[in-house]
Amino acid sequence: MDWLNYHHLLYFWTVAREGSVARASQHLSLAQPTISGQIRMLEEALGEKLFARAGRNLVLTDRGRLVFDYANEIFTLGRELMDTLKDQPTGRPLRVQVGLADAVSTLMAYRLLDPALKLPQPVHIICREGRPEELVADLARHNLDLVLTDAPVSPTLNVRAFNHLLGDSGVTVFGTPALAKVYRRRFPASLNGAPVLLPTGARLVRRALDQWFEQTGVRPRVVAEFDDSALAHTFGHAGVGLFTAPTAIEREVKRQFGVVIVGRIEAVRERVYAISVERRLKHPAVVAISEAAHAFLGQPTS
């Protein structure tokens, strides 16, 4: 019976994933000649050439791509095995690393993550914020257990990841009591010419809001645009303009920023996705996050 040397396969998989022997050498803390020699031994054992030269770069052959796909499955399953064993009660906190896309508000992130801290077993949450594509890349490298974002993984990203729609929410327009007194009456027509603080054009909810403005025939006055929703909320608290947040976290927004509701826009939906490398969520803390999201966001609309 032929046996596969999994050390050789790991070195090949790392080179293919990192894009070069040099980067794989840094990742594995091994000398480049050692890695190259191990890959040659794998090629000899398989009887196939796995890499070809394209100028100064290494590219996978057709057989190499096939082996890489199998290696992805093998090492993903291996990691899931180790994670499952680690998740058994040991008396130590259960560790979960979560990537938070900048489109997810801090208050929404808190509502999503808090249930994990209420599990019977102690939980240690590590949160990393960033752009979705960077976080998904970290997820693919197994540096994160989960990514929370407002959109599914782009098909242009060449990663193996699964989208889990946790739910969605309409949006609420908030303002200081003084602004609300002026713009609450005859909402949404009252938004015509009203000072507003909006997400930047890169956000999906901004596009939905622009479409809604167009359909309702209102033209608010855009005072400022923000990537960071927390900063928009701070400006809103200062009375600079009206701002939006998911209706699901109305109470938290009102309490934290001292603002009141001007009106609600059910036609504009903010979605929350959990991105994972697993088709089925298994990590206990991740499952708790997912179940709580379904509970307070409700079933997603189409």
Which has the minimum average pLDDT: 9-18, 122-131, 168-177, 283-292?
Answer: 283-292
Kindly list the distances between the CA atom of residue 298 and the CA atoms of 166, 212, 247, 294, in Å, as whole numbers in the listed order.
Answer: 8, 23, 12, 5
Please identify which residue in the block is written with the tokens 């602004």: 179
CATH topology of domain 90-302: D-Maltodextrin-Binding Protein; domain 2 (3.40.190)
Instruction: For residue range 43-81, list pLDDT tens digits in order.
Output: 998 999 999 887 777 889 999 889 988 888 888 777 766
Q: Both ends of the chain: CA-CA distance in Å? A: 52
* Domain positions in the chain: 6-85, 90-302
Which CATH architecture does the domain made up of 6-85 adopt?
Orthogonal Bundle (1.10)
Q: Which of 121, 43, 129 is nearest to 88 (CA)?
A: 121
pLDDT of 252 reads 93
Are 90 and 80 in contact, with CB atoms under 8 Å apart? Answer: no
pLDDT exceeds 80 at position 203? yes
Block residue for tokens 């991105």: 275
Do 270 and 148 meet the contact criterion of CB atoms below 8 Å apart?
Answer: no
What is the value of pTM for the model shown?
A: 0.65
Dist CA 151 CA 168 (whole Å): 11
Q: Judge whether 244 and 210 are in contact, CB under 8 Å.
A: no
Check: CB of residue 192 under 8 Å from CB of residue 221.
no
